[in-house]
């Protein structure tokens, strides 16, 4: 609409050229409710993007906002002084911690962003192991700060900012489609590489500090590793006495239909990052859950100003309650399956779809051209077409050729059905 166009034009003039906004899609936001947003021209969109998987309980969830208003009227910031909200949130996180961490869990607030939690994870690993080398994975995304960029497995995002952390080695992440290998072979290959990095006396890391991995890669293209990979990493971390850290910033907090993606694989990390949906309705808040054996820091060893956002903490507590009270994990599992089977139906008659991936409402659909090469142009065109017809979808993958759906977990069957009809039509038009 005209008002959206105007705002976008102004943004282009005064905002940074670095804003991540798809070219040529004039949609501004004015109001969000549940899984929909309205632009200033009065058009409504079904939001399957949700601020990159942040709004798990929906835009402006009223149950969360009620507590937000109450808390904001009373107290907003304390740094590390105790508050009810802080302790409530840590206790709730302990309740929903994966089996191997439950009852032995500690939580340290990272700060506002996921990148902060990643920095905390790197520090925790180094502090406890005494090492300095980190194992990360190709295609991984961990954030924008220097440590997080160092372990991100995407050259384009970091090549202009070197030197970064020196001793980081990237191992392959087993993605059968990307590597053209059968799943078991992809897993064996990745684990052999990790083992060599850790144990080969003629290569690899001199002083390993830890291993950081997304249990399901997000920016990398919603890549669900085959069975055996995460367990293999678990065993190698234990054998080499270094912490295994899962980055659950995008995959966690109910996204996959379990609280944490690691639960799909029955593998427990020593530490795991959380952010994005943790702040309830989009308040910036992140942290690191870790096994109490790693709680060796002295007072003040890991500190920072924005560790006391009481409103965000209160929002996080309410978001956990809301997900529990409305059985949204089961809903996410079921609706995710339905959406994936709709894509499977589309793929039956459309060769452009190479693979449909994900768990729960963490969904990726990979597109390739007639030569089997990544086809980002088609995904761009599908995204624009969807926007024009009232559905917000996003992209992922190192080649941008994965259509990414990370909708609010409150997305209804009815809205999902409408959205899928629009997406199917867009694919028909753009990937004929």
Closest to 247 (Cα-Cα) out of 153, 366, 385, 128? 153
Contact of 131 with 305, CB cutoff 8 Å:
no
Site for ligand PMP contains 143 (CB under 6 A): yes
Q: How far is the CB of 259 from ligand PMP (least distance, A)?
A: 16
Region of 20-28, 34-42, 77-85, 140-148 interacting with ligand PMP (CB under 6 A): 140-148
Residue from 94, 144, 324, 334 that binds ligand PMP (CB under 6 A)? 144
SS3 368: strand
Alpha helices in 152-242 (DSSP H): 176-179, 183-199, 229-239
Nearer to ligand PMP, 131 or 221 (CB): 221
Site for ligand PMP contains 424 (CB under 6 A): no
Site for ligand PMP contains 52 (CB under 6 A): yes
Residue from 275, 277, 317, 339 that binds ligand PMP (CB under 6 A)? 275
Q: How far is the CB of 154 from ligand PMP (least distance, A)?
A: 12
Q: Which residue is nearest to ligand PMP, using beta carbons?
A: 114
**Helix or strand run (H / E) with residue 208:** strand 208-213
Site for ligand PMP contains 309 (CB under 6 A): no
Residue from 56, 71, 83, 115 that binds ligand PMP (CB under 6 A)? 115
Site for ligand PMP contains 249 (CB under 6 A): yes
DSSP annotation of 60 reads: T
Cβ atoms < 10 Å from Cβ of 336: 24
Q: How far is the CB of 316 from ligand PMP (least distance, A)?
A: 14
Site for ligand PMP contains 175 (CB under 6 A): no
Nearer to ligand PMP, 142 or 395 (CB): 142
* Chain position carrying tokens 């990726």: 364
Nearer to ligand PMP, 71 or 250 (CB): 250
Q: What are phi and psi of 371, to 5 degrees?
A: -95, 10
Site for ligand PMP contains 107 (CB under 6 A): no
Q: Which residues of 173-198 are buried (b: 16+ CB within 10 A; e: fewer)?
A: bbbbbbeebeeeebbbebbebbbebb
Sign of the Cα pseudo-torsion (151, 380, 21, 42, in order): negative
Site for ligand PMP contains 154 (CB under 6 A): no
Site for ligand PMP contains 280 (CB under 6 A): no
Residue from 193, 247, 258, 355 that binds ligand PMP (CB under 6 A)? 247
Residue from 107, 109, 141, 173 that binds ligand PMP (CB under 6 A)? 141
Indicate the Cα dihedral angle 136, 222, 260, 120, nearest 10°: 30
Region of 67-75, 107-115, 237-245, 366-374 interacting with ligand PMP (CB under 6 A): 107-115
Nearer to ligand PMP, 283 or 426 (CB): 283
Total interface residues for ligand PMP by CB under 6 A: 16
Q: Which residues of 93-117 are buried (b: 16+ CB within 10 A; e: fewer)?
A: bbebbbebbeeebbbbbbbbbbbbb
Binding to ligand PMP in span 204-233, by CB under 6 A: 214, 218-219
Site for ligand PMP contains 359 (CB under 6 A): no
Written as six digits, the tokens of 163 are 């030197």
Can you spell out the DSSP letters for 34-51?
Answer: BTEEE-TTS-EEEESSHH
Q: What distance in Å separates the CA atoms of residue 81 and residue 41, rounded to the nearest whole number?
A: 44
Q: What distance in Å separates the CA atoms of residue 95 and residue 325, rounded to the nearest whole number?
A: 14
Region of 79-87, 108-116, 223-231, 317-325 interacting with ligand PMP (CB under 6 A): 108-116
Q: Return residues touching ligand PMP (CB under 6 A).
A: 52, 113-115, 118, 141-144, 214, 218-219, 247, 249-250, 275
């Amino acid at each position: 609409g005209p008002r959206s166009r105007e705002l976008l034009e102004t943004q282009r003039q005064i905002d940074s050229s670095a804003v991540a906004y798809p070219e040529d899609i004039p949609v501004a936001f004015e109001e969000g409710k549940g899984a929909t947003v309205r632009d200033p021209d009065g058009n409504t969109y079904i939001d399957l993007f949700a601020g990159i998987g942040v709004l798990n309980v929906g835009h402006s969830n009223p149950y969360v906002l009620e507590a937000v208003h109450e808390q904001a009227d009373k107290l907003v910031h304390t740094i590390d002084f105790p508050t009810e909200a802080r302790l409530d949130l840590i206790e709730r996180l302990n309740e929903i911690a994966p089996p191997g961490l439950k009852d032995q869990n500690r939580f340290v607030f990272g700060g506002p962003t996921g990148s902060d939690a990643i920095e905390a994870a790197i520090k925790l690993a180094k502090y406890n192991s005494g090492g300095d080398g980190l194992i990360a994975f190709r295609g991984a995304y961990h954030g924008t700060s220097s440590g997080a960029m160092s372990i991100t497995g995407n050259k384009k995002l970091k090549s202009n900012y070197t030197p970064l952390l020196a001793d980081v080695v990237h191992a392959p992440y087993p993605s059968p489609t990307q590597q053209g290998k059968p799943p078991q072979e992809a897993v064996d290959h990745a684990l052999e590489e990790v083992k060599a990095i850790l144990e080969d006396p003629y290569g690899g890391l001199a002083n390993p500090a830890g291993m950081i991995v997304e249990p399901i890669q997000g920016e990398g293209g919603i890549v669900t590793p085959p069975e055996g990979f995460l367990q293999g990493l678990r065993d190698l971390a234990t054998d080499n006495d270094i912490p295994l850290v899962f980055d659950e910033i995008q995959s966690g907090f109910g996204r996959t239909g379990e609280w944490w993606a690691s639960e799909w694989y029955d593998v427990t990390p020593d530490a795991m990052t959380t952010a994005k949906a943790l702040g309830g309705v989009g308040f910036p808040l992140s942290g690191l859950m870790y096994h109490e054996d790693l709680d060796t820091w002295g007072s003040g060893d890991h500190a920072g100003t924005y560790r006391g956002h009481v409103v965000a903490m209160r929002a996080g507590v309410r978001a956990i309650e809301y997900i529990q009270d409305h059985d949204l994990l089961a809903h996410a599992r079921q609706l995710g399956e339905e959406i994936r089977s709709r894509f499977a139906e589309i793929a039956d008659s459309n060769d452009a779809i190479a693979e449909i991936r994900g768990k729960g409402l963490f969904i990726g659909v990979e597109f390739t051209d007639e030569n089997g090469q990544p086809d980002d142009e088609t995904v761009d065109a599908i995204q624009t077409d969807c926007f024009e017809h009232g559905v917000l979808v996003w992209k992922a993958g190192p080649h941008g050729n994965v259509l990414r759906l990370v909708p609010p977990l409150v997305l209804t069957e009815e809205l999902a059905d409408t959205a899928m009809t629009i997406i199917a039509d867009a694919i028909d038009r753009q990937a004929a």
